[in-house]
Amino acid sequence: MIELSGIRVVFNPGTALENVALRGVDLTIPQGQFLPVIGSNGAGKSTTLNVIAGLVRPLAGCVEIDGTDVTNWPVHARARLVSRIFQDPKMGTCEDFSILENYALARARTAPRGLRMAIGAGLREEAVERLKVLDLGLENRLDDKVGLLSGGQRQALSLVMATAGETRILLLDEHTAALDPKTAHFVMELSRRLVGELRLTVMMVTHSMAHALDYGDRTIMFHRGRVLLDLSGEARDQMTVDGLIAHFKNDGIADDALLLG
């Protein structure tokens, strides 16, 4: 479970470039909820994700994960509780490392190996088991450098890595935005499957309104640093992409970025 209360984020405070990114955001994501988040550029959705991951420290407010106040925890300390997938497939993996080394690195997130060998007994078998699920043949290429893989393959590997170990919370940061439509669909379906099997709590930032309604259990929309719309249950089931657009136009938001997807 993720609980944000009164989160206020200001970039470059006290300068000419001062920019209030979040104006007191309260948001609770219950255990096991898959929450897509939409909003125009600069609305605050990615900032919110970064506040949860620990990349951005709020000026005011509190971040709780599973009942623990992590507001002042650095990124690497939160990694035990939260994993994330980056937008850029190149960011989520080390391209000079083999697939197995990347998996070992991700596995060490919840089970650090210290001065024991990074590739311990049984890790190879575990990696094979988990990669088989992707049906991409990566389980036969464990010693290949990740730099040899395509963007979609790397994003799929990132998903396997982010869901390795005991991490219960997954942050998806426009993780299909850099992929072609077919690959994006594959990665989205894979995300849905892994999240369902492992019953993870997920926040997914997306620019695609279709994805925001098709995937997950609830949809929220950010606008100018606040949560503008929070849809779940029947209201969400009846909402369409056109409906969303109409809704946003009524609120005076005429931003092309919202209409994409």
Residue identified by tokens 């997130």 is: 109
Render the burial of 166-196: b for 16+ CB within 10 Å, e for the rest.
Answer: ebbbbbbbbbbebbeeebbebbbebbeebbe
Q: How far apart are CA 213 and CA 261, in angstroms?
A: 12
Binding segment (CB under 8 A) for another protein, from list 5-13, 83-91, 201-209, 248-256: 83-91
Binding segment (CB under 8 A) for another protein, from list 93-101, 195-203, 241-249, 250-258: 93-101
Residues 225 and 43: beta-carbon distance below 8 Å: yes
Q: Which two tokens stand for residue 213?
A: 């309604």
Strand arrangement, sheet containing 68-69: 19-29, 2-11, 60-65, 68-69
16, 17, 115, 121: residue in contact with another protein (rule CB under 8 A): 115
Residue 101 within binding range of another protein, rule CB under 8 A: yes
Nearest distance, CB of residue 36 and another protein, angstroms: 21
66, 95, 129, 230: residue in contact with another protein (rule CB under 8 A): 95
Residue 83 within binding range of another protein, rule CB under 8 A: yes
Residue 96 within binding range of another protein, rule CB under 8 A: yes
Residue 214 within binding range of another protein, rule CB under 8 A: no
Q: How far apart are CA 141 and CA 123, in angstroms?
A: 14
Identity of residue 68: T
Q: CB atoms < 10 A from the CB of 97, how many? A: 15
Identity of residue 201: T
Nearest distance, CB of residue 15 and another protein, angstroms: 18
DSSP code of 145? Answer: B
- Please say which residue, 52 or 258, places its beta carbon nearer to another protein: 52
Q: How far apart are CA 21 and CA 9, in angstroms?
A: 5
- Please say which residue, 120 or 261, places its beta carbon nearer to another protein: 120
108, 128, 178, 241: residue in contact with another protein (rule CB under 8 A): 108
Quote the Cα angle for 245-247-251, to 5°.
110
Nearest distance, CB of residue 77 and another protein, angstroms: 8
Number of residues that bind another protein (CB under 8 A): 33
- Interface mask (CB under 8 A) for another protein, residues 150-189, using x and -? -----------x----------------------------
Residue 62 within binding range of another protein, rule CB under 8 A: no
19, 69, 113, 243: residue in contact with another protein (rule CB under 8 A): 113
Residues 34 and 215: beta-carbon distance below 8 Å: yes
Binding footprint of another protein on the chain (CB under 8 A): 53, 74-77, 79-80, 83-84, 86, 91-97, 101, 104-106, 108-110, 112-119, 161
